[in-house]
Structure 1
């Protein structure tokens, strides 16, 4: 790639881990965030940018060859905060890519796009969206916007429905949703190197025995995760799964995102 890859959300938890890994593989990187990054690495350029600022986003995107869009509000929040960062911000990124002739984008979507499916249901790329909050709605918007930009403008966008990407699982739900950092990195590499990308939905989870998600309907990306959360099960559930299966946060795949502000009476 003649120009560097752009990573938005580079100051976040995942972005901070990905920066040196991406530099080691691709040689140069534009790291962007609304928060400052001061520990720049050789080959790395920092652009401080509010994704809601369309002019600034277009100027930044013009310097890149491909985009890893991880920026935005990363947890549930009031709608207007989510709208600015995740809805307007994602539009600005996709539109800037179109205007600058940049085809390939990897969009960090989320499992919260499908959070109100029950944990007994196995999902694939064709499963209906059932967001579990404003954050999930914003990621559903991003996926639909990606589909539009692929169909109408010829962009190539992979939407990664990332589960729980942390160093190791912390609770029972994570045994189903965990995405090891190394598996995330190999997924990004697979998306960037695929000869064709089109519009792709991929569930971002390791090869967990307890997974709820099936990637067999992916069309363009070949990816085989290697880690498995089951090696943590004995520690996290020494007496088996004792959770109340009727609890909203247990019953549905989105976990606590589903139970937050839940007030249905039936």
Structure 2
């Protein structure tokens, strides 16, 4: 790619991918509403509120790929989720439509299906069961991306990220964890695929205890290498065995199912 846009580049996952994707495009255009620090040798920095349509159009112009990590990533007030995850995503897709349909990897979430139990194994045909307003916003995002694909041919990989971090931090993540390295491999596969379409992909490493079936997406050639099982003994030693009746042990969304609806006042 000549220019890859990474939204949400100041977040934890954005910072991790900023380093790992440095050689994936001639130029990385990095964006966030927060401070991005100093630009690297092949980086462009553009501060942007996703709710500002004109700013998003300027952000997308000249890009031939978009890694969309931006937005609210936890449960929050609906007004914040509305601006960043709904209006902001609409602005992004309208900008992509206006600027040549750059391929998009949309960071969706396992919280689109958070109310499934951990003893249920599902594929992408399973109905959505969001566990909060954040999860609902990702359901909206997947539907919006599908409509832009069907109506305008805008290709998007809808990646339902499990728990993408350096290593699992609790026992639930023995199933949901995706390593930074495996995410980088997935990003490479998405942007080099001759034909992408608009697939839903479970963002999860090759964990023994995973709940999600990715067999429909084998055409992308993604073969995650890491396995959270190697951290089980460490988690047992540091955290002890989890309470089997707690939401963290029962539901795929873990404690997100317990989050309240935050009042606007």
TM interval, short-chain normalised: over 0.9
Return the offset for 1:241: 7.6
Distance in 1 separating the partners of 2:21 and 2:205: 20
- Tell me the equivalent position of 2:99: 100
- Tell me the equivalent position of 2:86: 87
Consecutive unaligned residues in structure 2, runs of 5 or more: none
Map 1:1-266 onto structure 2 (within 5 A). 1=1, 3-218=2-217, 220-238=219-237, 242-261=241-260
Return the offset for 1:59: 1.2
Helix, strand or coil for the counterpart of 1:125? Answer: coil
RMSD of aligned alpha carbons: 1.7
Q: Which has the higher contact order (CA 8 A, sep 6+)?
A: 2
Instruction: Give the alignment's TM-score, normalised by structure 2.
Output: 0.94
Contact 1:133–1:257 (CA<8 Å) still a contact in 2? yes
Helix, strand or coil for the counterpart of 1:106? Answer: strand
Contact 2:103–2:156 (CA<8 Å) still a contact in 1? yes
Contact 1:197–1:220 (CA<8 Å) still a contact in 2? no
Return the offset for 1:127: 1.3
Number of matched pairs:
261
Contact 2:178–2:204 (CA<8 Å) still a contact in 1? yes
Return the offset for 1:76: 0.9
Contact 1:67–1:105 (CA<8 Å) still a contact in 2? yes
Instruction: Give the alignment's TM-score, normalised by structure 1.
Output: 0.94
Distance in 1 separating the partners of 2:126 and 2:193: 24
Consecutive unaligned residues in structure 1, runs of 5 or more: none
Moved more, 20-29 or 102-111: 20-29
Distance in 2 separating the partners of 1:30 and 1:240: 40
